[in-house]
Amino acid sequence: MTPPSATDAPTIRLIPKAKPQAIRRGFPWVYANELVLDRRTKALAPGTIARLEDAERRFLAWVGVTPASKIAARVLDRDEDARIDADWLRARLARALAHRERLYDAPFYRLIHAEADGFPGVIVDRFGDALVLQPNAAWADAMIGPLSEALAEATGVTTILKNAGSRGRQLEGLDAEDAVLLGAAPEAPVAVEMNGAIYLADLTGGQKTGLFYDQRPNHGFAARLSRGQRVLDVFSHVGGFALAALAGGATEALAVDGSASALALAEDGAARMGLSERFATRQGDAFDALTALGEEGERFGVVICDPPAFAPAKPALEAGLRAYERVARLSAPLVEEGGYLVLCSCSHAADLSSFTGACLRGIGRAGRRAQLVHTGFAGPDHPLLPQLAESGYLKALFFRL
């Protein structure tokens, strides 16, 4: 895609009732009901780079347009002299990479965290010499060639994979076809060391990009609580909290997940750590497993529940909060007196207050009393854009019961 020049770029405009102050203050989205969606605007190809103006025809920002989406435009740059091209991509990437290289000694991290890094809708996770790219907005999908080239140039990686399975791409009307953009897909899972644990990331067949880097600091905090304790990790994926707990000195850990393939990777990680004898798995529905463990009279020093997003959008909020409450109610009885319960949410729609309330209701209905000893969020390779609450999606509550 060749970016338009300032003189030939299409222009889209806010309706008179729309308030431009939010854009000027850094909000990165323009909703369809805020735009003049005339025939000309609706005819723009998804991913078109356009000038956004207010109702008085004053420049606001360069945006990527998806006319049929609820988020009809995503802000790319508020400098009128900017040109959204390969040089622009390289400059943004250099800034994102410098932040990660200051934080981490090894090249395993989230390299681009969407709006917070100035790449609306774009996720890039790095696994050593491989990158997994999720272009979840039409503008990025349209520029996937220059974006891939800029990523390869900035990082020196030999493999770039396109992961197209996200819900965001569906909302943008984009395809669901994964692709190899550079090099060859890894033939085996990639080993990633975090907090002393070894995780196996399946970059082609795993969930999302293959591993969840966002929980890294929360894994570390949970590991400190797990020294000398028996640990239960529910919704474990590839061993997330369980393997970190073992690395931190847990006497044993049980990982529960619905995916047999994810648990197999967790077992491989434990084996590489030389801790297989202290690690066990249980495959099946998490709610069923929590119920069964309670009926079996099992007790643990630390119990962690890190479910998928029960409330990914506002229409699902009430049902999602009931699900979080149920997780808390079923897991609290499994915690020894004086032990710790860790409850997590990655739901955009459930803010910290509502999630905390749901957890406390569940703990109370289980007949337990709780101290909140720590609140964790995503790691610093997942920066938060203050103007966009959705970018602060991850919450981890550490309770002592």
Convert the pLDDT of each residue in 353-398 to its tens digit.
999 999 999 999 999 999 999 999 999 999 999 999 888 899 999 9
Instruction: Provide the angle, in degrees to the nearest 10, between the axes of the packed helices 240-247 and 216-225.
Output: 50
pTM of the model: 0.94
pLDDT at 39: 94
**Looking at the domain 190-400, which fold is it?**
Rossmann fold (3.40.50)
**Every domain of the chain and the residues it spans:** 11-77, 86-182, 190-400
pLDDT at 353: 96
**In contact, 331 and 341? CB cutoff 8 Å:** yes
Run of H or E including 99: helix 86-103
How many residues comprise the chain?
401
The residues pairing with 193 across neighbouring beta strands, listed in sequence order, are: 198
pLDDT at 301: 98
DSSP state of 120: T
**In contact, 77 and 62? CB cutoff 8 Å:** yes
Residue 138 structure tokens:
């039409």
DSSP 25-58: TT--EEEGGGB---HHHHTSPTTEEEEEE-TT--
372-397 b/e (C-beta count within 10 Å ≥ 16 → b) = eebebbbbbbbbbbeebeebbbbbbb
CATH of region 86-182: 3.30.750.80
Judge whether 346 counts as a catalytic residue. yes
Phi, psi angle pair for 31, to nearest 5° = -80, 155
Domains 11-77 and 86-182 in one fold:
no
Residues 6+ apart with CB under 8 A from 184: 159
Q: Per the residue annotation, which of 305, 344, 346, 359 is the catalytic one?
A: 346
Would you state the CATH architecture of domain 11-77?
Roll (2.30)
pLDDT at 4: 53
Mean pLDDT by 10 residues, the chain (401 residues): 63 94 95 95 96 96 96 97 97 98 97 97 97 96 97 98 89 92 96 97 87 97 98 97 98 97 97 98 97 98 96 91 98 98 95 97 98 98 92 94 98
Convert the pLDDT of each residue in 22-55 to its tens digit.
999 999 999 999 999 999 999 999 999 999 999 9
